[in-house]
């Protein structure tokens, strides 16, 4: 190992950018590290929109995204691209995040070169390979290949221990998304499309993009939203559309003609944070949004059958409503019409972190490299 610990951070999609940004910033500030950012470019617009907000520039952009890309395409091109990067720039540690195809393919590229892999947001499990698809497999396989595990919660650490990961390799750090959120609070920007809207007008935020929701489940979600909007003409439903046509086309089609549904392109992070804060509640199938909503004490209806983040449901900051239109509508109406119920969410403990996850991850990496004298102890278990 060189004097500095050489760390490359891979980011491919919007949530990876937002959740790795505080860690990249902390690594760049710390003289113990030489940090590089590798963008796979699995996302283009949404990835760079997120990186820009945090002032992070990628050192390398593999630029793999194609219109309506396949999982095979992402996997093979990221594997080859990150592999080429590592061959030209050997690293002491490769940090990957979460559960995307970029995550898994990058971890595999590291593994093939015996470069230690650190997994940020390790140990989340739904225990069902079909939900979320393909993310549950991505995170399981990444955890099989990694050497260092940054678990956001106690439960995610317990999942790893139960799979035989040695305790010495697992660090409970909190989720870096809370670092990103806290850094952004105070820098929010109200989007133009809300400017004309009187303060007190009821606003609800909705996002949906998951692969397993495409088709019928997404239509059910939209049917619930449509019914809600018809019953409450005063309501505004703000829907930032994901760039993936498989999700956005269905939503636009199914909510066509709803005059109180407001569509927008993906909002940049400070705008999205402002909208979360302004909303009465949120309906979303997004992982990151569940975590942020909990920290902001905003009720979130989780538009999924199953969650790898049961902490939100356990402490009651989120309600798992599935994709049945009646259930979604019933829970949404309750949140809209029962103010005391809605406000009770503000008293619930946020389970995903305190904004210091990045600092804990840096400490853990230093500790690990010190203990192993620069050489990862038993590279593979």
Choosing from 14, 16, 119, 121, which is the catalytic residue?
Answer: 121
Strand 148-151 and strand 60-61: pairing? unpaired
d(CA 30, CA 50): 22
| 209 noted as active-site residue | yes
Specify the residue, 215 or 245, whose C-beta has the smaller distance to ligand UD1. 245
Specify the residue, 14 or 125, whose C-beta has the smaller distance to ligand UD1. 14
Ramachandran region of residue 100, left (φ > 0), alpha (ψ -120 to 50) or beta?
Answer: beta
H or E element in which residue 151 lies: strand 148-151
CB of 92 to ligand UDP, least distance (A): 28
Which partner, ligand UDP, ligand UD1, none, binds residue 244 by CB below 5 to 8 Å per kind? ligand UD1
Which partner, ligand UD1, ligand UDP, none, binds residue 44 by CB below 5 to 8 Å per kind? ligand UD1
d(CA 48, CA 268): 10
| 242 noted as active-site residue | yes
**110, 134, 299, 351: residue in contact with ligand UD1 (rule CB under 6 A):** 134
CB of 90 to ligand UDP, least distance (A): 30
> Does the footprint of ligand UDP cover residue 331 (CB under 6 A)?
no
Within 259-288, which residues bind ligand UDP (CB under 6 A)? 266-267, 269, 272, 286-288
| 73 noted as active-site residue | no
Per residue, what are the HEC states of 2-66? CCCEEEEEEECCHHHHHHHHHHHHHHHHCCCEEEEEEECCCCCHHHHHHHHHCCCCCCEECCCCC
Q: Which of the ranges 11-19, 89-97, 117-125, 321-329 carries the binding residues for ligand UD1, by CB under 6 A?
A: 11-19
CB 270 within 8 A of CB 189: yes
CB 148 within 8 A of CB 93: yes
Compute the chain's Rg from CA coordinates. 20
CB of 287 to ligand UDP, least distance (A): 4
> Does the footprint of ligand UD1 cover residue 277 (CB under 6 A)?
no
> Does the footprint of ligand UD1 cover residue 69 (CB under 6 A)?
yes
CB of 115 to ligand UDP, least distance (A): 25
> Does the footprint of ligand UDP cover residue 152 (CB under 6 A)?
no
> Does the footprint of ligand UD1 cover residue 356 (CB under 6 A)?
no
Strand 60-61 and strand 93-97: pairing? unpaired
**289, 321, 332, 350: residue in contact with ligand UDP (rule CB under 6 A):** 289
Specify the residue, 54 or 161, whose C-beta has the smaller distance to ligand UDP. 54
Choosing from 73, 144, 211, 334, which is the catalytic residue?
Answer: 211
Tokens at 2, concatenated: 């060189």
> Does the footprint of ligand UDP cover residue 240 (CB under 6 A)?
yes
Choosing from 16, 92, 131, 135, which is the catalytic residue?
Answer: 135
Give the count of beta carbons closer than 10 Å to the beta carbon of residue 295.
Answer: 21
**What sign does the CA torsion over 220, 224, 227, 233 have?**
negative
> Does the footprint of ligand UD1 cover residue 6 (CB under 6 A)?
no
Q: Which residues, 6+ apart, have CB-to-CB distance to 127 below 8 Å?
A: 136
Tokens at 277, concatenated: 């804060």
**53, 97, 119, 209: residue in contact with ligand UD1 (rule CB under 6 A):** 209
Tokens at 328, concatenated: 């979604």
Specify the residue, 177 or 335, whose C-beta has the smaller distance to ligand UDP. 177
| 195 noted as active-site residue | no
CB of 301 to ligand UDP, least distance (A): 15
CA atoms within 13 A on the CB side of 158: 4
| 52 noted as active-site residue | no
Tokens at 261, concatenated: 């549904």
CB 340 within 8 A of CB 120: no
Binding site for ligand UDP (CB under 6 A): 14-15, 18, 177, 207, 209, 240, 266-267, 269, 272, 286-289, 292
Binding site for ligand UD1 (CB under 6 A): 13-15, 42-46, 65-69, 71, 74, 100-101, 134-135, 209, 243-245
Please identify every residue annotated as catalytic. Answer: 99, 121, 135, 209, 211, 242
């Amino acid at each position: 190992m060189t004097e500095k610990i050489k760390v490359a951070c891979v980011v491919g999609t919007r949530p990876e950018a937002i959740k790795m940004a505080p860690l990249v910033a902390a690594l760049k500030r710390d003289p113990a590290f030489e940090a590089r950012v590798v963008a796979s470019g699995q996302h283009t617009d949404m990835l760079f929109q997120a990186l820009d907000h945090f002032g992070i520039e990628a050192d390398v952009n593999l630029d793999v995204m194609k219109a309506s890309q396949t999982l095979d395409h992402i996997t093979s091109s990221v594997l080859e691209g990150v592999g080429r990067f590592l061959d030209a720039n050997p690293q002491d540690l490769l940090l990957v995040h979460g559960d995307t195809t970029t995550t898994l393919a990058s971890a595999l590229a590291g593994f093939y070169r015996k470069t230690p892999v650190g997994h940020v947001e390790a140990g989340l499990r739904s225990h069902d390979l079909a939900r979320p698809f393909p993310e549950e497999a991505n995170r399981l396989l990444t955890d099989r290949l990694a050497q260092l595990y940054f678990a956001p919660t106690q439960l995610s650490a317990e999942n790893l221990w139960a799979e035989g990961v040695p305790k010495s390799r697992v660090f409970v750090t909190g989720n870096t998304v809370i670092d990103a959120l806290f850094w952004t609070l105070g820098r929010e920007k109200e989007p133009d499309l809300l400017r004309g809207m009187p303060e007190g007008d009821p606003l609800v935020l909705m996002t949906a993009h998951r692969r397993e929701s495409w088709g019928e489940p997404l239509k059910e979600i939209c049917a619930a939203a449509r019914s809600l909007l018809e019953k409450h003409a005063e309501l505004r439903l703000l829907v930032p559309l994901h760039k993936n046509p498989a999700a956005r086309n269905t939503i636009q089609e199914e909510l066509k003609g709803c005059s109180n549904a407001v569509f927008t392109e993906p909002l940049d992070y400070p705008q999205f944070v402002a909208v979360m804060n302004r909303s009465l509640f949120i309906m979303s199938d997004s992982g990151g949004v569940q975590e942020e909503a909990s920290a902001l004490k905003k009720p979130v209806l989780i538009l999924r059958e199953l969650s790898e983040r049961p902490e939100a449901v356990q402490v009651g900051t989120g309600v798992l409503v599935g994709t049945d239109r009646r259930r979604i509508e019933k829970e949404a109406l309750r949140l809209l019409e029962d103010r005391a119920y809605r406000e009770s969410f503000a008293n619930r403990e946020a389970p995903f972190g305190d904004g210091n996850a990045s600092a804990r991850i840096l400490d853990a990496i230093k500790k690990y490299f010190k203990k192993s004298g620069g050489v990862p102890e038993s590279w593979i278990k």
